Amino acid sequence: MRRARTVMIQGTGSHVGKSVITAALCRWFVQRGRRVVPFKAQNMSNNSCVTPDGKEIGQAQGLQAEACRVPARTDFNPVLIKPSGPRQAQLVVNGVVAGTMTPSEWGRLRREHFQTVCQAFERLATEFDLVVLEGAGSPAEINLRDHDIVNMRMAQAARAPVLLVGDIERGGVFASLVGTHALLEPEERRHVRGFIINKFRGERSLLDSGTAGLERRLGVRCLGVIPMWDQISLPEEDSVGWPSVFRRSASTLAEVTIGVANLPYLSNSTDVEALARTPGVRMVCIDGPTNERLDLLVFPGTKNTAHALKFVRAQGLDHVARQVWKAGGTVLGICGGFQLLGRRILDPEAVESSECEMKGLGLLDIITVFARHKTTVQVAGRHLDSGSPVSGFEIHMGQAQAGLNAKPFLELHTNDHQTTRWEGAVSPDGRVIGTSVHGLFDGPEFTRAFLSRVRVPGDALSLPQEGECQGSRDERLDRWTEFVARHLDMAAVEAIIEEGLS
């Protein structure tokens, strides 16, 4: 049986563009008739998504699956680490919670889970034509080399040629590429077959002498220089890119101003990224008391609700929420942010913290009870207030129980449409809302309906109609792929893949 070809995208550090370049390569080869899948052995991120069979993987691999036009599955990201405290993280293996880990236990990953990772890769390698692998952070973290399961050890296991990506926006791109290459072991270095410079601004010819010098030093060629493209409009892999969300939405012609509470251990920040992409929206980060006149204040998801609740009170964000509500604005909580808005949070089994009971902000008539079972499910249904269709997914260990003074927010149905259930909570006046569903704002019709209702009364709202924004995510992936392919030597990339490791 012929095994799949492979190629791996590694970077000189985090947030250099590995995930979206991987997605672009996936889509480019799919467009040419190849059966392609992504693979990231281990991801560390609180931005996750749910597969059709109710398992959890990194959201970046969910996006890459969309780029490949295949359903997401746990083989694409067999190990996911979700930070939940200064020295603690939830460990997800093959899509299900496998306990917690601390930094001192990092070696467990290789000892206990590298075989799992390799088994997942082998399943893909026997089923598809091409596996596009992605590394994590930098392969040159020599203090972590012995524990590595996602960078060069995975490249060796997969016999994958590596394309090394450097981020020129941060400065020092030549030094970071040379330094990364130099810190690799000789056996690792032979995997590196080319380098890519990403996020370039300015005159391309000014880089020519630098890339030529780098080619001589490294002994591999520059495969292209990808310009900075602020219109990429694809989800961030993790919260490292969080500040850019607010820069992109800093419109002076905003019709709706949205504040986002900057919670610790932020999870699924892509919920508000989707809002920020909506024309007419201005989004600001709220760290404490503010004079901003907000139409909407969002408490996003958090991986540690108890810690976030203490933070909200310490920073005065509870007072900000009440000010927004009293001024006629709306307060929205998503997942962990939803739990904060309730009356009480109960954690009798110490699932998330040592606090067995905490008093919430009291803005919604709900009580959240944490349990060891984690809900991971894709959902669809309708927004009860507007009738707009909705879809998304739930990932949470806290179960919200609504009281008599809370109306449901959504009506959700099972995949076979045979049963329905209410979800979320809305205050009697309709201006405090909570939901456990992520991904709602990826739907333009719901987003328009929701923003039309939350805006503080004033002039008529003229948000764009559905389809007037930036197209579907599939269309955005096509545009991003075309942009990347225009600036990379794709013939050379394909030759590297076909040659493999000689």
Enumerate domains of the chain plus CATH numbers. 5-232+475-499 (3.40.50.300), 239-454 (3.40.50.880)
Whether the pLDDT of residue 173 is over 90: the answer is: yes
Instruction: Categorize the per-residue pLDDT at 432 as very low, low, confident or very high, splitting at 50, 70 and 90.
Output: very high
- In the numeric block, the tokens 């969080």 are attached to 242
Whether the pLDDT of residue 106 is over 90: the answer is: no
Residue 17 CA to residue 10 CA, distance in Å, equals: 9
Whether the pLDDT of residue 25 is over 70: the answer is: yes
Higher pLDDT, 84 or 160: 160
Whether the pLDDT of residue 267 is over 80: the answer is: yes
How is residue 304 written in tokens?
A: 């540690």
Q: Which residues of 230-262 are buried (b: 16+ CB within 10 A; e: fewer)?
A: eebbbbbbbbeebeebbebbebeebbbbbbbbb
The model carries a pTM of 0.90
Whether the pLDDT of residue 316 is over 80: the answer is: yes
The confidence score (pLDDT) of residue 254 equals 66
Is residue 432 within 8 A of residue 407, CB to CB? The reply is: no
Amino acid at the residue 145: R
The confidence score (pLDDT) of residue 131 equals 98
Catalytic annotation on 438? Answer: yes
pLDDT, tens digit, 9 for 90 and up, residues 379-406 = 999 999 999 999 999 999 889 999 999 9
Whether the pLDDT of residue 354 is over 80: the answer is: no
Whether the pLDDT of residue 274 is over 90: the answer is: no
The confidence score (pLDDT) of residue 29 equals 98
Q: Out of 2-11, 104-113, 270-279, 347-356, which region has the weakest mean confidence (pLDDT)?
A: 347-356
Section 80-106 average pLDDT: 91
The confidence score (pLDDT) of residue 349 equals 83
The distance in angstroms from the start CA to the end CA of the chain is: 20
Tell me which of 335, 383, 396, 469 is the catalytic residue.
335
Higher pLDDT, 325 or 242: 325
Tell me which of 307, 438, 469, 487 is the catalytic residue.
438
Q: Which residues of 98-110 are buried (b: 16+ CB within 10 A; e: fewer)?
A: beebeeebeeebb
Section 436-460 average pLDDT: 84
Provide the pairing of β-strand 162-167 with 5-11. parallel
The confidence score (pLDDT) of residue 239 equals 57
The confidence score (pLDDT) of residue 248 equals 52
The confidence score (pLDDT) of residue 459 equals 46
Whether the pLDDT of residue 250 is over 70: the answer is: no
Section 286-309 average pLDDT: 93
In angstroms, the Cα distances linking 359 to 153, 184, 306, 402 are 47, 51, 10, 15
Section 152-181 average pLDDT: 96
Section 359-373 average pLDDT: 94
Residue 169 CA to residue 198 CA, distance in Å, equals: 8
pLDDT, tens digit, 9 for 90 and up, residues 196-249 = 999 999 888 889 999 999 999 999 999 999 999 877 778 776 655 555 666 555
Whether the pLDDT of residue 58 is over 90: the answer is: yes
Catalytic annotation on 413? Answer: no
Neighbours of 275 (CB within 10 A): 24
Residue 94 CA to residue 96 CA, distance in Å, equals: 6
Whether the pLDDT of residue 501 is over 60: the answer is: yes
Residue 167 CA to residue 170 CA, distance in Å, equals: 6
The confidence score (pLDDT) of residue 467 equals 43
pLDDT, tens digit, 9 for 90 and up, residues 458-472 = 544 555 554 444 578
Instruction: Categorize the per-residue pLDDT at 30 as very low, low, confident or very high, splitting at 50, 70 and 90.
Output: very high
130 DSSP β-pair partners: 5, 36
